[in-house]
A and B are shown apart, each in its own frame.
With several copies, the nearest count.
Chain A
């Protein structure tokens, strides 16, 4: 029962503990600088590990293929999301575009938790998936913006800022930078820092997910803007996007672990980098909608059900 196994992992249980504490209105809380520090740590750690793995496995044409596919997904996934958000959830153009940008992008924590679970299930994803994730983070913002406002409505200054956001966003830089460092140093020189970045990883992830449980549930409790149609899409979109991701993985002939990771990237929605970019570029869109959908609905769904599901399905679909 690998799915059940996943739910009994301490990482998930700390997420549940946080969510229950917030639901019961406990005053438990994680200091904001700790939350930010842990997220920097997680990004550096997975970047490094991915780079070291690629330094051993070598560059393969597959790496380029998957990177291209990932970026294409990030650009394209907002399109269908937009249609569903307009048609089913009845959002206006502006908010639909804003939400779509989040679902085209990725959630780093979802990816990290999925990698951890996949590795424990014996199907570790390829190291280069970290780089793919970094590449998938921001293209969706462009599609989302064009959907929300139509092309040509961006001033030159705004376009510059958007491009900077896409290319130089802190998490993109840290993920790709750590990946390149891992690539450059290789396994031997990684050893002295492995205790912090490998041995400590799962334990620190527990603390981070405790906080994410608190934050996601508080968001859910306070989200006035969320109606059942949006909540339903917050569950449907990861299923649809995840299925598309799995399909692309099958087309590319990926192994189960790597394919499952791509599926989870497609299924996940950003709630850190994209909200900040969208708040700036689409100030009239309602953060209450896009943050609640991605953080309070899709994120817990992926952690609790999406990951076990993909662990079950990937080995069947990808062989």
Chain B
């Protein structure tokens, strides 16, 4: 049977203009590899939005697979900005193949 390892997946909903900033923060926490998924619309405390090109601050979903330590380090780094940047963060355990990569 193929061996898998338990790692963390971290999904962060973030305003599109702040994406590069988040990527830098993640890299500083040694989470260099990531993927960005499009998000179409949403509703939060600041109201509804829809990615129509203009007129709204659109969101993206930052997704990274990494290990516990690095994810903790990233959360530590983000902590002071989570509220003001309105980040929506979810961390969960996943099984990965090629565990040494993450």
Dominant secondary structure of chain B at its interface with chain A: mixed
Please report whether the interface of chain A is mostly helix, strand, loop or mixed according to DSSP. helix
Q: Is the CB of B53 within 8 A of A275?
A: no
B57 engages A291 (CB within 8 Å): yes
CB within 8 Å for A219 and B18 given contacts A224-B47, A288-B46: no
B54 at the interface (CB under 8 A from A): yes
The answer for the CA separation of A33 and B85 in the assembled complex, in Å, is 26
Taking CB atoms and an 8 Å cut-off, the chain A residues in 216-242 that contact chain B are: 216, 218-219, 222-224
Once A222-B47, A283-B85 are accepted as A-B contacts, the answer to whether A39 and B17 lie under 8 Å apart by CB is no
- Given that A283-B84, A284-B84 are contacting pairs, would A295 and B55 also be in contact in the complex, using a CB cutoff of 8 Å? yes
Q: Which of B21, B46, B53, B84 contacts A280 (CB 8 A)?
A: B21
Could you tell me the distance in whole angstroms from the C-beta of B44 to the nearest C-beta in chain A?
A: 11
Residues of B within 8 A of A223 (CB): 47
Of the candidates A215, A287, A288, the one whose C-beta lies within 8 Å of that of B54 is A215
Which B residues touch A276, using CB under 8 A? 16-17, 57
Using known A-B contacts A275-B57, A283-B84, A288-B46, determine if residue A29 contacts B17 with beta carbons closer than 8 Å: no
| A271: interface (CB < 8 Å) | yes
How many Å lie between the Cα of A33 and that of B38 in the bound state?
13
How many Å from the CB of A226 to the closest CB on chain B? 11
- Give the residues in chain B near A277, CB-CB below 8 Å: 17
A283 to B56, CA, bound (A): 14
B-side interface residues, number (CB < 8 Å): 19
A126 interface residue (CB < 8 Å to B): no
* Contact pattern, B 8-27, Cβ under 8 Å of A = 1, otherwise 0: 00000001111001000000
A224 to B47, CA, bound (A): 8
Q: Are B18 and A279 in contact (CB under 8 A)?
A: yes
- Say whether B17 contacts A32, CB under 8 Å: no
Distance in angstroms from A270 CB to nearest chain B CB is: 11
Question: Is the CB–CB distance between B47 and A215 below 8 Å?
Answer: no
Name the CB-closest residue of A to B86. A283
